[in-house]
Amino acid sequence: MLKVRTYPDAVLSHRAAPVKRIDREFLRLVNEMFDTMYREKGVGLAAPQVGESLQVCVVNCTGKKDGELVLVNPAIIESSGEVSDEEGCLSVPGIRSDVIRAERVKVRGYDQNGNEIEVTADGLQARCLQHELDHLNGRLFVDRLGEAARMVIRPGLKALEEQHKKQA
C-alpha cells in the first residue's frame, strides 16, 4: 500500500511530469493507487498524492469494478456550467469546503494501455476529474477558496502544518 501525502508536502504543490512510458512498473503503480484509494475510501487519487510526480490519476465514483478509470497525461478540453458543492481531499484530511467547479467536463488523455480516450462527465464524476487534474497541476481544492472560506479552514491547515513539522 502507498502512503497518502498530506498538506503541506511539497510534492502536492508542483506540476507533475508527463508519463513517457507505460511499463510493468507503471501498471503496478496504477494498481497500488486503486488499492490505496479504496483503502482510504476515496473516489479519486492522483499520483502526486502518493509521492509520484507523474501525470496519472485513478477515479471510481461508482464503487464498482467497471467504474474504474485511469487517466494518463489528461487535460480538460471542454467545460460548461458552474456548480458549487462540498469537497474534501485525502491529502487535506479533516477539512471540507464548498468549491465552485464546472458542471460538465470533457477530458482527453490516455488509458493505462496507452490508448487515447475522451471522457465526458457531469455530477460527481466531473467534480472528481477536475479535482484530480488540479492535483496533477500542483493545486489543492483549498487553493480555489475565497478569503472568507480560507479563514474558516485556516486553523485546520495550521494543524496539518504542525503535524507535518513533527513528522519531518
State pLDDT tens for residues 101-117: 999 999 999 999 999 99
Catalytic residue among 86, 116, 132, 161: 132
Question: What is the band of 15 on the pLDDT scale with cuts at 50, 70, 90?
Answer: very high
User: Which run of H or E residues covers position 158?
Assistant: helix 147-167
CA–CA dist 85, 141 (Å, integer): 12
pLDDT at 31: 97
Return the domain boundaries, the chain: 10-167
CATH of domain 10-167: 3.90.45.10
Predicted confidence (pLDDT) per residue in 40-79, tens digit = 999 999 999 999 999 999 999 998 888 999 999 999 999 9
Told to judge if 132 belongs to the known catalytic residues of this protein, a careful annotator would answer: yes
pTM metric for this prediction:
0.96
Question: How far apart, in whole angstroms, are the C-alpha atoms of residue 94 and residue 119?
Answer: 30
Q: Looking at residue 64, what is its pLDDT?
A: 87
- C-alpha distances in angstroms, 48 versus 10, 11, 63? 10, 6, 22
